Chains A and B, each alone.
Chain A
Amino acid sequence: MTSPNTPTQVSDKFFSGKKHKLAVLRSLGNRALTILCCLLALLTLVPLFSLVFLVIKNGLPLLTWEVFSGLPPAAGLKGGGFGNAIQGTFIMVSMALVLAIPLGVLSAIYVNEYEPYSRLSNTVRFVAKLLTGIPSIMAGLFAYGVVVLAFGSFSAFAGAVALGILILPTILLTAEQALLGVQTAYREASYGLGATKFQTIVRVVFPEALPAIMTGIMLAVARAAGETAPVLFTALFSQYWLKFENLDSLVNQPVASLSVLIYNFSTVPFEYQLQLAWTASLVLLILVTIANVLGQLVFSKKP
């Protein structure tokens, strides 16, 4: 044989002897690692699924119309529900969004579209990133100090301020990323046709970024609806419905919320209250999921 690489020789080289064993070992190692990664990925799903399973299993038995219409039972008593807590959570999350969305989205537009490299923009980005890491209880303490003490009462507004502070950085940072993700080609096309910066943002950039901005807002909704600590200090809790008479109703009385109800009832020694806490968790999970799906449906990109 003259050529050193005839097929038989190549196969001899690779399928026998020491090298062959090495190749087999490598391929085994490769497979083992793939399986390991797969198992670990499954493992991360275990806590999630077991949580959802537990919430459904323990929450379903009491899930009747009564929990939506009734008021929380006093200690040791049975019956009733947590309609006022759903109402309170709904009011506070909505108000928090009303406060945080304009502030967050407009800041993101400034930071990404107008002055991306200015000192102010860098500061805003830095502070927003810092704020995502603050313990939620600090947002509660802040709102307590600023709103509760100023108005002299626990209130829905104070709760909304605390939640708003908490979700503002999430909304700002995701909105900035969403705007950053809009292709330069769209901006250039718009400027090339004689559009101003404002027209370009309103007509092209913002609509294109909207679905991703919505995703950030939905994350914020989920976070705000589930937070306990900030609400505990600001809205406290109430056994009654929030009766809306005028704007003062939002600042002069404590308000119930699902998260605080869950927190309260999960620490009491009464079976019915414990059950109700599970059901409240289930309702919270369902409401957040519905909000999420609706948000995605309404604002998703049309093909």
Chain B
Amino acid sequence: MSNDAVNPSPTAMHTAATSSQAQPRLDLLSVRDFSFYYGSKQALFEVSMDIPERQITALIGPSGCGKSTLLRNFNRMNELIDGTRCEGDISLLGRSIFDPALEVIALRRSIGMVFQKSNPFPKSIYENVVYGLRVSGEKRKSVLDEAVERSLRGAALWDEAKDRLSESAMGLSGGQMQRLCIARAIAVQPEVLLMDEPCSALDPIATVKIEELINELKREFTIVLVTHNMQQATRCSDRTAFFYLGKLIEYDETNRIFSNPREKQTEDYITGRFG
């Protein structure tokens, strides 16, 4: 397991120099000795990793390896499942997300999530995008309107949706629905976007669109991407973490993982020998 401090990649340095004055944090999300249990079944074993700001970190591994479980812990979504518990710590910007003084609602506003199966509400496109703002008490129409345009543009859906904002989101295609879910997530301007296999239910063309979008979004957001698709990890991510049976096997820059993995299990997986 590569647990040494994360070295900034050249791309990260470049991004930092051009788009932001502040040095991007290398440990925007920090996981320390994190274990997770569904009842008596342990799903994660003492995982430690740092997720750098404004980069795309891919979590890969075979089904049941714990990658989605870890992702769903970043915004404490797993708490909704009965009988789960965890050990260790995860912190966002240096502050523990399990801190009792931190409201889980505030946490989920700063860590947005896009799910495997697109799940727009059975409401209008407009209402879908502003949902997060509405539940946080925003009522000013100008603010909501502005957020809708900004988010839909951000999710590359504005041109297709601008004339039908009041129509039901259920009339969109699969790829459009998933982009709407991304727009909905970025409308509340989170720090981090969690994406749980966002393309696994989409056709190749819609997949390409979402991948391009993910690469665009990286300029503003820190993205953690769970994927089954190793090509997607190579195409999209800056860093890749390989999980197997609940353990973090290897975590490094993506091109290094795929060209010169240190661990035999990683090599076996990426070359398709199992998984």
Contacts and interface: CB of A to CB of B under 8 A. Distances in A.
A192 B135 contact: no
A188 B114 CA distance: 10
Interface string B49-82: 0000000000000000000000000010100101
Chain A at the B interface: SS class: helix
Contacts of A117: 82
A186 interface: yes
A204 B112 CA distance: 18
A186 B80 contact: no
The 6 lowest CB-CB distance pairs between A and B, nearest first, are: A193-B132, A185-B119, A194-B109, A192-B113, A195-B135, A194-B108
A204 B121 contact: yes
B239 interface: no
A199 B135 contact: yes
B147 to A, nearest CB: 12
Given A194-B106, A196-B105, A301-B122, 18 more contacts: A117-B82, A188-B77, A188-B113, A189-B115, A189-B184, A190-B121, A190-B131, A191-B77, A192-B75, A192-B115, A193-B184, A193-B185, A194-B105, A194-B135, A195-B105, A203-B131, A203-B135, A303-B170
Contact of A189 (B168, B181, B188): B181
A189 B135 contact: no
Contacts of A187: 80
A295 B57 CA distance: 51
Interface of B: 75, 77, 80, 82, 105-106, 108-109, 112-113, 115, 117, 119-122, 131-132, 134-136, 168, 170, 181, 184-185, 188
A18 interface: no
A227 interface: no
A194 B188 contact: yes
7 contacts: A185-B119, A188-B80, A192-B112, A194-B109, A194-B132, A194-B135, A199-B135
Interface of A: 117, 183, 185-196, 199, 203-204, 207-208, 301-303
Contact of B115 (A185, A194, A199, A303): A185
A188 B134 CA distance: 17
B87 to A, nearest CB: 23
B198 to A, nearest CB: 13
Given A193-B108, A193-B185, A303-B168, A208 B122 contact: yes
A188 B91 CA distance: 22
Most central of A117, A199, A301 by chain B CB within 10 Å = A199
B135 A196 contact: yes
Contacts of A191: 77, 80, 108
Contacts of A199: 135
Contacts of B82: 117
B224 to A, nearest CB: 14
A188 B117 CA distance: 11
Nearest to B82: A117
A203 B75 CA distance: 21
Nearest to A187: B80
A192 B113 CA distance: 6
Contacts of A194: 105-106, 108-109, 132, 135-136, 188
A99 B131 CA distance: 33
Nearest to B105: A194
Contacts of A193: 108-109, 112, 131-132, 135, 184-185, 188
Contacts of A196: 105, 135
Contacts of A303: 168, 170
B132 to A, nearest CB: 4
A192 B184 CA distance: 10
A111 to B, nearest CB: 15
Contacts of B120: 189
A193 B131 CA distance: 8
Contacts of A302: 168
A188 B120 CA distance: 11
B128 to A, nearest CB: 9
Contacts of A203: 131, 134-135
A192 B182 CA distance: 12
B168 to A, nearest CB: 7
A303 B167 CA distance: 10
B230 to A, nearest CB: 26
A192 B188 CA distance: 11
B153 to A, nearest CB: 19
A199 B80 CA distance: 15
Contacts of B121: 186, 189-190, 204
Contacts of B75: 192
A233 to B, nearest CB: 45
